[in-house]
Amino acid sequence: MSVDTKAPRKKFELKAGVATREAFGRTLVELGRENRNVVVVDADLSKSTMTTYFAKEFPDRFFSMGIAEANMVGVGAGLAMAGKIPFVASFSVFAVNKGFEQMRVCAAYGRSNLKVVGTHSGISIGEDGPSQMSIEEIALACSLAGFVVMAPADEASCKALVRAAAAYDGPVFIRTGRPKAPVIYTADHKFEIGKAVEVAPGTDVTIIANGLLVAQAMLAADLLDADGVSVRVIDMHTVKPLDRDAIAKAAKETRAIVVAEEHLIDGGLGVKVAQVVAETHPCAMEFVGIHDRYAESGQPEELLEKYHLVAPDIASAARKVLTRKS
Amino acid sequence: MSKSIAELQVIAKRVRRDILEMIAAAKSGHPGGSLSAVELVVELYFNTMRIDPANPKWPDRDRFILSKGHAAPVLYSVMAERGYPDTPKDKLNTLRQFGSIYQGHPDMRFIPSLEASTGSLGQGLSLGLGMALGERLDGRPSRIYVMLGDGEIQEGQVWEAAMAAPFHKADNLVAIVDNNQIQLDGFVRDIMAVDPLADKWRSFGWHVVELDGNDAVAVRAAFEEAAATKGKPTALVAHTLKGKGVSFMENNPKFHGVAPSQDELKMALQELN
C-alpha cells in the first residue's frame, strides 16, 4: 500500500453504525438465500443473536434447542456431519463456556464444519453485568486445535467475515457485540480470514486491536498525532490464524507495539501478538485489556472507560511504550 | 445384507473372542461394556442398517454412533467382520498401541468409516440428532442409531438431547441404552441410580421398547419396531449383562475397565468355543 506521508492526516470520525450481531443476522439471511445447506441452531436467544431474521425466512432450516447450549453445539456438529453448513449462536459467554467441551470433541477434534457465533461479547453488553459478559472466549476458542477465531470491528467487516466463515471448510468461532459498532470500513472493503488490515499508516508505534477497540485505537492515533507521533493501526480481525507477517513487519518497522482488546489480558490477542514479536523482531510492547477481574452493570461507554479500554488509555500505553523503545 | 439369527449368533461369538483377544493384547481396555453390546451392534451392522462397506460414505446410508466410546472393541470387531476396508481384521490386535488405527476410543482421523469420534461421554445423542435433522432436511431415508451406556446417561447433555429429539419429531433417530447396570466405580444403582429408565425416556416423548439386549431375536424385533414408529424417536432400553458370554466377567464390576490376563483370556476363549 502506498501512502502519501506529506498529506495531512485525516481524522477518524466516530460514526455509530450497525451492531456486529445485527450484521451477522442480516448476513445469515443472505447466505440462506444463496445456499440451501446453510442452517441455524439457536438456544432461546434468537431475538438477541439476530438469528430471528433467518428463522422467519427459513423456518425449516432453523432449529430451536431451548436453553441448552451443550446440545445446541452438538446438534450443530451433527448437522455439519450430515453435509450442512450450520451456524450455532448464543451469547458468547454461553456458547463457548457451556459448549466448550462439545466444540472441542465434536468440532475441533471431530473436525466438523461448524460455525459458532457468539454475540454480546466483552463488557460492552452493559447493564446485564458480569454473568453475561464474555471476557475469556478468545482464549478458550484459540485453545481448540484447528479452529479459526475472528472478532470483527464493524458491520462491513462482520458481513464479509461471516461470509468467509461460511465458505471456509472447518470449525470457526466469530465474536460479535451488542452495541452499535463505529463504522471503520466502506461497504465494499475486501477481507480475508487471517489477513490483518492496516487501517492507518504510521512509523513510530503500532496499535493492534480488534472488535470495538479498533475505533478506540483510531481515536488514540489522532490523540498521538497531535503530539507529532506517527501511529500505525492494525485491525487484527482474525486472532487465529494470526497474520504473522503484519505483526513482524510492524515490529520491525515501528519497533513499538500496543495491543488493545475488550478481553482478559490472560490468553487474549496481546499475548498471541507478543509471541510472534518474540519470535521475529522483539520490541517494546504494552497491553490494553481487562486485568484479572470481572466488571459490573452500566452503560457500555461508562464501563469501557472505567475498565480502561478507551482511546486515552490506548494513547497513554503508546506514550509509555515509546519511552521504552530502543 | 440379510443374515439369519443363527448366522448372527455365530458372528457374535467370533466378535466376543476378538474383543477379549484385542483387550488382552493391549493389556488395557473395557471388556465388560463391549461384551454386553455385542448382539445389538452385530444386528445393526449385519441386518438392520442400510450400509455399503465398500462405499462407506454413501449419502443415503444409515449411521451408527457409539456414544459410549470406551466400548470401541465391539465396534472395531464388528466393522472388521463386516468388511470395511479401513478396519482390517488382521490388525485388531494392535488395539491401543502406538501407531495403531484402533485407537483407545473411536477416532475418525484413523478410521474414516466411523461416523463420529467419541469417548467424552454424553455427546453422541446430540450429534445423532443433528445428523437426523440434516438427513431429513435433504429427504434422505437415512436412520441414525446412537448407543449410550446406562452410566453415560447420568450426563446432563443426554437429557438436553432427549428433550429436543421428540420436540423435533426426529423419528429417524434411535437411542439404544445398553443397560448393563455397571459403571466404572461399581453398580449404577450405587453410584447414581438412573431408574426407572423406560419411564424417563417415555416421559420425554420417546417411543420406548424394553428388551433383552443379548437376545438376538428380541434385538431384531426391537429395531423393526423402531423403524415402524413414526412421529417420534425410539429409545431401546436394552437390558444386557455386563461381560456377557464369559462367566467370571458377567455382572462383575472389575471387568468394566480391566483387561483379562493371559490365563483369564485362555479360560474365556474356552467358554466361547
> What ipTM was reported for this prediction?
0.96
- Nearest by CB to A75, from B118, B126, B135: name it: B126
Provide the pLDDT for residue A8.
62
In this structure, is residue A54 part of a structural domain? yes
Closest by CA to A202, choosing from A224, A181, A174, A183, is A224
pLDDT-derived band at B2, boundaries 50, 70, 90: confident
Same domain, A33 and A167: yes
Is the Cβ of B62 closer than 8 Å to some Cβ of chain A? Answer: no
Asked if pLDDT for residue A1 goes beyond 50, the answer is: no
In this structure, is residue A292 part of a structural domain? yes
Is the Cβ of A130 closer than 8 Å to some Cβ of chain B? Answer: no
Return the residue in B160, B163, B167 with the most chain A beta carbons within 10 A, the one to mutate for interface testing. B160
Provide the pLDDT for residue A7.
59
Domain around A280: 197-324
Cis peptide before A8 (omega within 30 of 0): no
**DSSP secondary structure code for residue A134 in this structure:** B
Same domain, A143 and A203: no
pLDDT in tens, B57-101: 999 999 999 999 999 999 999 999 999 999 999 999 999 999 999
Cα–Cα dist A31/A187, whole Å: 17
Cα–Cα dist B55/A315, whole Å: 61
Q: What is the domain count for chain B? A: 1
Cβ <8 Å between A81 and B127: yes
Asked if pLDDT for residue B31 goes beyond 60, the answer is: yes
CATH number of the structural domain spanning residue A235: 3.40.50.920
Asked if pLDDT for residue A75 goes beyond 50, the answer is: yes
Tell me the three cell numbers of residue B115: 461416523
Is the Cβ of B153 closer than 8 Å to some Cβ of chain A? Answer: no
Cα–Cα dist A123/B244, whole Å: 56
In this structure, is residue A11 part of a structural domain? no
Same domain, A55 and A153: yes
Cα–Cα dist A148/A142, whole Å: 8
Cα–Cα dist B130/A63, whole Å: 10
Helix and strand counts by DSSP (H, E) for chain A? 12, 12
Asked if pLDDT for residue A5 goes beyond 60, the answer is: no
Return the residue in A37, A41, A71 with the most chain B beta carbons within 10 A, the one to mutate for interface testing. A71
Q: Is the pTM of this model over 0.90?
A: yes
Is the Cβ of A75 closer than 8 Å to some Cβ of chain B? Answer: yes
Closest CA–CA distance from residue B100 to any residue of chain A (Å): 18
Cα–Cα dist B58/B62, whole Å: 9
Closest by CA to B26, choosing from B105, B77, B95, is B95
Same domain, A32 and A114: yes
Contacts of A75 in chain B (CB under 8 A): 126-127, 129-130, 133, 161, 164
CB B148 within 8 Å of CB B67: yes
Same domain, A24 and A142: yes
Q: Which of A141, A175, A209 is the last residue of a domain?
A: A175
Tell me the three cell numbers of residue B168: 423435533
Asked if pLDDT for residue B123 goes beyond 80, the answer is: yes
Q: What is the DSSP string of B42-111?
A: HHIIIIIS---TTSTT-TT--EEEESSGGGHHHHHHHHHHHT-TTS-GGGGGGTTSTT-SS-SS--TTT-
- Nearest by CB to A74, from B59, B126, B163: name it: B126
Provide the pLDDT for residue A261.
98
pLDDT in tens, B131-185: 999 999 999 999 999 999 999 999 999 999 999 999 999 999 999 999 999 999 9
Q: What is the mean pLDDT of chain B?
A: 97
Measured between CA atoms, the residue of chain A closest to residue B119 is A105
Same domain, A27 and A165: yes
Provide the pLDDT for residue A10.
84
Cβ <8 Å between A68 and B164: yes
Section A36-56 average pLDDT: 98
Cβ <8 Å between B130 and A75: yes
Cα–Cα dist B21/B24, whole Å: 5
Same domain, A170 and A201: no
Q: Which value, to the nearest 10 degrees, does the dihedral of the CA atoms of residues B29, B33, B36, B42 take?
A: -70
Asked if pLDDT for residue A3 goes beyond 60, the answer is: no
Residue A312 CB partners (closer than 8 Å, separation 6+): A220, A223
Same domain, A44 and A110: yes
Share of chain B above pLDDT 70, in %: 100
Is the Cβ of B116 closer than 8 Å to some Cβ of chain A? Answer: yes
Is the Cβ of B87 closer than 8 Å to some Cβ of chain A? Answer: no
Tell me the three cell numbers of residue A96: 463457548
Beta bridge partners of A231: A205
pLDDT-derived band at A9, boundaries 50, 70, 90: confident
DSSP, collapsed to helix, strand or coil, labels residue A40 as: strand
Share of chain A above pLDDT 70, in %: 98
Domain around B236: 5-271
In this structure, is residue A92 part of a structural domain? yes
Q: What is the mean pLDDT of chain A?
A: 96
Contacts of B132 in chain A (CB under 8 A): 78
Burial class (CB in 10 A: 0-12, 13-18, 19+), A84: buried
In this structure, is residue A138 part of a structural domain? yes
Same domain, A29 and A77: yes
In this structure, is residue A141 part of a structural domain? yes
CATH number of the structural domain spanning residue B239: 3.40.50.970
Residue A198 CB partners (closer than 8 Å, separation 6+): A1, A232, A233, A234, A246
Same domain, A116 and A225: no
Tell me the three cell numbers of residue A29: 439471511
Section A131-151 average pLDDT: 98
Q: What is the domain count for chain A? A: 2
pLDDT in tens, A244-269: 999 999 999 999 999 999 999 999 99
Contacts of A71 in chain B (CB under 8 A): 126, 129, 157, 160-161, 164
Same domain, A134 and A44: yes
CA distances from A55 to A39, A60, A113, A159, A254 (A): 9, 8, 21, 18, 48
pLDDT in tens, A271-315: 999 999 999 999 999 999 999 999 999 999 999 999 999 999 999
Same domain, A155 and A265: no
Provide the pLDDT for residue A322.
98
In this structure, is residue A68 part of a structural domain? yes
Q: Which of A143, A175, A207 is the last residue of a domain?
A: A175
Start-to-end CA distance of chain A, whole Å, equals 27
Provide the pLDDT for residue B1.
65
In this structure, is residue A115 part of a structural domain? yes
Provide the pLDDT for residue B148.
98
